[in-house]
Structure 1
Amino acid sequence: MRRTVLTAGMAGIAILALTACNPQGPGAGGGSDDASPDAATLPDAVQIIVPADPGGGWDQTGRAVSSTLTEDGLVSTASVSNVGGAGGTVGLAGLANERDPNTLMVTGLVMVGAVETNAAETRMEDTTPIARLTEEPLVVVVPASSEYQTLQDLIDDVVDNGQSVTITGGSAGGADHILAGLLLENAGLDGAEITEKLNYIPNAGGGEAVSLLLGDNASAGISGVGEFAQYVESGDLRALAVSSEEPAALLPDAPTMVDEGFDVVYTNWRGLLAPGDITEDEKAGLVDLIGQMNESGTWESVLETNGWTDAFLTGDEFDAFLSENIADVQGTLQNIGLIQ
C-alpha cells in the first residue's frame, strides 16, 4: 500500500469591536513582514467568530483564544459567537463582507475542504489570513459496546457492507470526512467505490457526533483527539487509532493508523482569519496581537491541556501555506471521489 501523509503543510488532504490606540510593544509576528512595530496598533477589543456550533474543535479554539487574550490583558474583551453551518462557509461568507477590522474567525483544514465540497461562492482567498495556530491528530472511535476491536475490523466492514456502516464526524468535505475516505483508499477502493460505500454523517459541532455515538446511532466517529479524549477516558467510547506519526499525548494507549497497517498520517490545523478588506496596518495589529498571545505562558498551558501542537505561522509564510493547502485539498477530494 502506498503511504498517504497529510500534515498541516499538506493534505495529500457577531461582530462589533472597538479600536483604540494600545501600543503594547512588538509581538511575535512569526516571520510576518506586515507586523512591524511601527505599523502595528493593537486593538483594545476583538470579537471572535466560531463558524460552527458549540462543542467542537473550532469552538474549543475560539474560546481558548478569547480566554488567553483577556486573562493576559492583551485586550479588554474578546467575546465569542457561534455562526454554524456548511462546514464554516456560512460564517466565511459573513466574514468576507464584515466592516469591523477587529474581527477574527476560527478556520482550518475543515473549512478548506468545505469550500470545495459546497462550491461556496465566498472562498478563504476573499479574507485576510492572520495566523495558523495549532495542529492536532484525529482519532477514530467506536461506542464501548461496538463489535469492532481494531481499525481493520471497521474498514473491512465498510468495504464488505458499505452503507450499512455509518461513520460520523464534522462537516461534509472536512478533515474527518477526508480521513474516512483516505482510509478506504488505503484499503484499495477507488474514488467511485468510496462514494458508493462510505455512509458519512456530517455534523456542525463535535457535540452532535458524541451524542450519535453514545446513543449507538453511528457505527464509528472521527474527530480531533481533544474532542473525544474525555469520553475514551470515561470508558464510553473506545479509540481504534490516532492519525499521528506517534501516539497522541491525550490518548497515549491508542495505536497509530500506521501501527494498525494503514499508511496514513494526518494532522488537522486551525488558525484565524480577518475580514478581507482591512488595511495593512489593521492586519499588522491583529498579527502582533496573536503573536503576543502565542508567546504567553497561558497559551502554552492551553496547548498542553488540549493536546495541540504549536504550529504558529503568520505573514507571507501563512499566506503561502494556505495557498498550497487549498491546492492539495482540491486534489485529495478529487482522488477520493468527494468532488469532481
Structure 2
Amino acid sequence: MRRDTFLKSLAALAASGALPMQAWAAANVKMMIPANPGGGWDSTGRALGKALQDAAVASSVTYENKGGAAGAIGLAQFFNASKGDPNAMMVMGAVMLGGIITGKPPVSITQVTPIARLTTEYNVFVLPENSPFKTMADVIAQMKKDPGSVKWGGGSRGSTEHVAAAMIAREVGVDAAKINYVPFRGGGEATAAILGGNVTVGGSGYSEFQQYIEAGKMKAIGVTSGARLKGINVPTLKEQGINVEIGNWRGVYGAAGITPAQRDALTEMIVKATKSKAWAEAIEKNGWTPALLTGKAFDEFVDRDFASLRAVMVKSGMI
C-alpha cells in the first residue's frame, strides 16, 4: 500500500473512532529541537526520535533545529506553528527555564503542553589543553584577582553552566555580577571556542566533551554533581570545597491547544520509547541519568524548578 493511501486510511479510522488516537499521532512525529546541532538538546531529541521508532510508536520522525536565546526562538516557532498538532513535540529542559527567567521572551513554556522529564545530566567544567591553569583552584585564584579576566564559556544566558559559574563565584567570595560569561547558541559552538582557547574554562554535559577529554584536548576540573559520576574520574566541586551542586534535566513538551486525550497519547508514546533498546543505548552512550516523570508530577516539578532557579539567580546577582 502506498504511504499516502495508508495515512488516509489511518485518518479515516481515527475520525470514525475505530483507531486509538496514539496510532494516528504516531504517523509522523515532528520534533522541534530549539538549539543548534551538536548539543545536549540535539542529541536528546534525535535519541528520542530513534527510540520512538524502535518502540514502534512512530512510523517516522522529522527534526527541526532552531537555536538561540536559550531555546526561546525555537519555543516561539513551536508555539506559533504547531498549535493543536498532536504529532508535534519539542525538547526542552532546565536551560529553557533559566533563559525565560533572564530573557523574559514573548512566549513562555506555560503556553505549551508538558509531557515528560526524560533525563538528568550534570555539568563538567573543562580547560583547553594549552591552558596555563591546571585545576579549578587555579581558575578561582585568577578570578579573585580579576573576575573579568576569566572567560566562562557555555550555553545561552540562564543555562545551568551559567548558573553554576555564578554560584561558584558567590561561594568563593567573588561578585557574581562581575563574572565574564560568554554564551553560545549550541554545544558545537562552545566546543570550538574551548578547543580554540577563546574561553578560559568551558562548561556543559560530560557527554558533549567526553571525546575531547579522553583525547587529552580538554582537561576536566570539576563536576556539579553531589558525588563523583560513575566511571568518570573527575572531582566534584564539593570535594574541592565549593558548595555547588546543580543538575541539568531535559524533557519534552507537546504543542499548545492539544486535548487531554492527545496529551495522554503522547505521554504513552514517550513512556514506551524510554523502555526501548535504542533509548537504553543512548542513556549508556551519553552518560545520562534516567529521570522519567510524567503527568501532574512533572507539572509540579517544573513549577518548583522554575521557582528554585529564579531564587538561585537572584542570590547570584544574575537578575
TM-score by length of 2: 0.91
Distance 1:312 1:287, change over 3 A: same
Q: Distance in 1 between matches of 2:130 and 2:221?
A: 13
Q: Report 1:1-340 matches (<5 A).
A: 20=10, 42-97=25-80, 98-99=82-83, 100-189=85-174, 193-196=175-178, 198-249=179-230, 252-339=232-319
Q: Is the 8 A contact 1:133 1:271 kept in 2?
A: yes
The alignment's C-alpha RMSD in Å is 2.0
Which of 113-122 and 147-156 deviates more? 147-156
Describe the superposition over 1:61-83 as per-residue Cα deviations: whole angstroms up to 9, x where unpaired. Answer: 01111112223332111111101
Q: Distance in 2 between matches of 1:57 and 1:315?
A: 24
Which of 176-185 and 158-167 deviates more? 158-167
Q: Is the 8 A contact 2:155 2:204 kept in 1?
A: yes
Q: Distance in 1 between matches of 2:74 and 2:144?
A: 36
Q: Distance in 1 between matches of 2:55 and 2:217?
A: 36
Query: Could you tell me how far 1:160 is from its partner in structure 2?
Result: 1.2
Report percent identity of matched pairs. Answer: 37
Q: Distance in 2 between matches of 1:64 and 1:83?
A: 17
Q: Which runs of 5 or more structure 2 residues have no equivalent in the other structure? A: 1-6, 14-19
Query: Could you tell me how far 1:272 is from its partner in structure 2?
Result: 0.2
Query: Could you tell me how far 1:221 is from its partner in structure 2?
Result: 0.1
Query: Could you tell me how far 1:40 is from its partner in structure 2?
Result: 5.4
The one-letter amino acid paired with 2:185 is A
The one-letter amino acid paired with 1:195 is A
Q: Distance in 1 between matches of 2:185 and 2:242?
A: 28
Query: Could you tell me how far 1:202 is from its partner in structure 2?
Result: 0.3
Q: Which runs of 4+ in 1 moved over 4 A?
A: 18-21, 38-42
- Specify the alignment match of 1:12 in structure 2: none
The one-letter amino acid paired with 1:70 is Q
TM-score by length of 1: 0.85
Query: Could you tell me how far 1:161 is from its partner in structure 2?
Result: 1.0
Q: Distance in 2 between matches of 1:133 and 1:263?
A: 26
Which of 82-91 and 38-47 deviates more? 38-47
- Higher radius of gyration, 1 or 2: 2
Query: Could you tell me how far 1:210 is from its partner in structure 2?
Result: 1.0
- If each structure's helix is expressed as a fraction of its own residues, which one has the higher value? 2
Q: Which runs of 5 or more structure 1 residues have no equivalent in the other structure? A: 1-17, 24-37
Query: Could you tell me how far 1:39 is from its partner in structure 2?
Result: 7.4
Q: Is the 8 A contact 1:170 1:204 kept in 2?
A: yes
